[in-house]
């Protein structure tokens, strides 16, 4: 997605003495084509966005009741990133042996660290609201409401990073939003058994609140990366992105852990496991699986922002909602009708429209430098 030409977003790569690329004002937008890492992050988002809600909902359906625990599971997998981050550090140290300077253990500046901690606290609150929503709503309804984050992401991307909207991106947002609205209009009367009407509406409101917060989080992450590049002159690398995700995960997990301590959740886990509908082993496997899958989602999201934009991450999240709908029908026997089929078609159309607009925009940008070279004497 193109962004207004500001110092925060324009960058070009120039080599430093130690071989590390610097990011300086004046370059083009981030390329989306021929980028295998963007594809990998997209696949991570697919796995996390499709299966994460199913695992958390299964926790509540089979006897789980701890909302703070469900909130913690969404970020507790952050230690999984320590292995690739350590491998990256060793690789940088080997390549920097002839540079004459010590290889930094962390690439984050103090300002970026502070901003990332703030994002982590926002993520912790978002996870808690989302956990409450999944406790009282079907997966399909919760996913529909979460899809409204696309509109929030678009609005805050416009305000914070001056996102430039093309006809194709606007078309994608409209189609995805209309599809989600159609699903929402068809979601009445789906209150689960055992859930009271006040609980249902509380889950409804909290899920919308989670969508609003995450709509702010995505542009803030993009803005943090851009300001770090503009302020330090150093390129935002994928290693830095992993460092940001570790800080976000650690902060959000600590936020939820405090809530668990206050709510006495840690002492209740063993008893809840004994009475869990899938058995004690199934209980712990479900917790571990949820933490792992959601870590895939968050890493894929921050990677999509790095290689694309906050709006691209929001579009991918929204287009995956029909996938979650289908899986909810398969595993939880939630109803699927013609309205959901039309919404699925609109979502796919919107996603194709967005990608087509990206390809056209990047093709025009790649032609400009070539034309300029031919004009130079």
pLDDT recorded at residue 184: 59
The tens digit of pLDDT for each residue in 148-192 reads 777 787 778 777 777 676 787 788 778 777 876 776 566 555 677
CA-based nearest residue to 19, from 103, 81, 78, 77: 103
Query: Higher-confidence residue: 146 or 73?
Result: 73
User: 9 pLDDT exceeds 50?
Assistant: no
Backbone phi and psi for residue 30, each to the nearest 5 degrees, phi listed first: -75, 130
Query: Higher-confidence residue: 65 or 154?
Result: 65
The tens digit of pLDDT for each residue in 111-130 reads 899 999 999 999 999 999 99
DSSP string, 206-240: HHHHHHHHHHHHHHHHHHHHHHHHHHH-B---HHH
| Percent of the chain predicted with pLDDT > 90 | 24
Q: Say whether 14 sits in a helix, a strand or coil.
A: strand
Question: What does the DSSP 8-state code read for residue 21?
Answer: E
Span 73-101, mean pLDDT? 83
The tens digit of pLDDT for each residue in 231-287 reads 888 777 888 888 998 999 999 999 999 999 999 999 999 999 999 999 999 999 999
Backbone phi and psi for residue 75, each to the nearest 5 degrees, phi listed first: -130, -5
The tens digit of pLDDT for each residue in 306-317 reads 877 777 787 787
Any long-range contacts for 260-269 (C-beta under 8 Å, 24+ apart)?
260/66, 260/68, 260/69, 260/72, 263/66, 263/68, 265/66, 265/68, 265/69, 268/66, 269/66, 269/69
Burial class (CB in 10 A: 0-12, 13-18, 19+), 21: middle
Q: Is the pTM of this model over 0.85?
A: no
DSSP string, 138-198: -HHHHHHHHTTHHHHHHHHHHHHS-BPPPHHHHHHHHHHHHHHHHHHHT-TT-PPTT--HH
Backbone phi and psi for residue 174, each to the nearest 5 degrees, phi listed first: -65, -45
Q: Which band of pLDDT confidence, cut at 50, 70 and 90, is reported for residue 74?
A: very high
Q: Are 73 and 87 in contact (CB under 8 A)?
A: no
CA-based nearest residue to 257, from 116, 66, 82, 115: 66
Query: Higher-confidence residue: 17 or 303?
Result: 303
Residues in the chain, total: 377
Q: What is the mean pLDDT of the chain?
A: 78
pLDDT recorded at residue 312: 78
| Percent of the chain predicted with pLDDT > 70 | 80
pLDDT recorded at residue 186: 61
**Residue 2 region, left (φ>0) first, then alpha (ψ -120 to 50), else beta?**
beta
User: 26 pLDDT exceeds 50?
Assistant: no
Query: Higher-confidence residue: 17 or 81?
Result: 81
Q: Which band of pLDDT confidence, cut at 50, 70 and 90, is reported for residue 78?
A: very high
Q: Say whether 243 sits in a helix, a strand or coil.
A: helix
User: 101 pLDDT exceeds 80?
Assistant: no
Q: Are 298 and 248 in contact (CB under 8 A)?
A: yes
Question: What does the DSSP 8-state code read for residue 29?
Answer: P
Span 195-222, mean pLDDT? 86
Query: Higher-confidence residue: 90 or 33?
Result: 90
Which CA distances in Å does 22 have to 25, 127, 136, 213, 237? 10, 35, 49, 32, 10
Q: Burial code of 296-313, b = ≥16 C-beta within 10 A, e = fewer?
A: bbbbbbbbbbbbbbbbbb
Distance of alpha carbon 49 from alpha carbon 31, whole angstroms:
24
pLDDT recorded at residue 1: 33
Query: Higher-confidence residue: 118 or 361?
Result: 118
DSSP string, 91-112: HHHHHTTTTSSPPPS----HHH
pLDDT recorded at residue 373: 43
Which CA distances in Å does 321 have to 139, 146, 314? 10, 9, 11
């Amino acid at each position: 997605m193109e962004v207004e030409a500001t110092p925060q977003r324009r960058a070009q790569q120039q080599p430093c003495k130690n071989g590390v690329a610097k990011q300086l004002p004046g370059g083009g937008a981030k390329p989306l084509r021929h980028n295998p890492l963007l594809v990998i992050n997209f696949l991570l988002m697919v796995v996390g966005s499709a299966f994460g809600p199913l695992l958390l909902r299964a926790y509540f359906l089979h006897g789980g009741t701890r909302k703070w625990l469900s909130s913690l599971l969404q970020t507790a997998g952050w230690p999984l990133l320590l292995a690739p981050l350590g491998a990256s550090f060793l690789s940088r140290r080997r390549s920097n042996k002839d540079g004459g300077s010590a290889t930094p253990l962390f690439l984050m500046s103090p300002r970026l660290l502070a901003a990332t901690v703030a994002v982590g606290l926002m993520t912790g609150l978002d996870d808690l609201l989302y956990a409450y929503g999944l406790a009282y709503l079907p997966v399909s309804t919760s996913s529909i409401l979460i899809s409204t984050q696309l509109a929030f992401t678009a609005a805050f991307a416009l305000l914070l990073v001056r996102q430039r909207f093309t006809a194709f991106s606007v078309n994608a947002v409209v189609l995805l939003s209309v599809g989600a609205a159609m699903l929402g209009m068809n979601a009445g009367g789906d209150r689960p058994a055992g859930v009271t009407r006040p609980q249902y509406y509380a889950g409804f409101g909290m899920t919308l609140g989670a969508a609003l917060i995450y709509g702010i989080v995505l542009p803030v992450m993009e803005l943090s990366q851009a300001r770090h590049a503009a302020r330090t002159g150093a390129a935002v690398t994928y290693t830095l992105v992993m460092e940001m995700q570790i800080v976000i995960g650690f902060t959000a997990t600590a936020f939820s852990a405090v809530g668990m301590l206050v709510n006495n959740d840690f002492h209740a886990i063993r008893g809840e496991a004994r009475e869990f509908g899938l058995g004690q082993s199934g209980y712990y496997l479900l917790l571990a699986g949820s933490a792992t899958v959601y870590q895939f989602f968050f890493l894929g999201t921050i990677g999509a922002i790095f290689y694309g934009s906050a709006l691209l991450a929001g579009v991918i999240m929204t287009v995956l909602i029909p996938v979650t709908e289908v899986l909810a029908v398969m595993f939880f026997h939630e109803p699927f009708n013609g309205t959901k089929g039309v919404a699925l078609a609109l979502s796919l159309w919107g996603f194709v429209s967005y990608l087509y607009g990206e390809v056209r925009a990047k093709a025009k940008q790649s032609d400009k430098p070539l034309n300029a070279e031919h004009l130079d004497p």
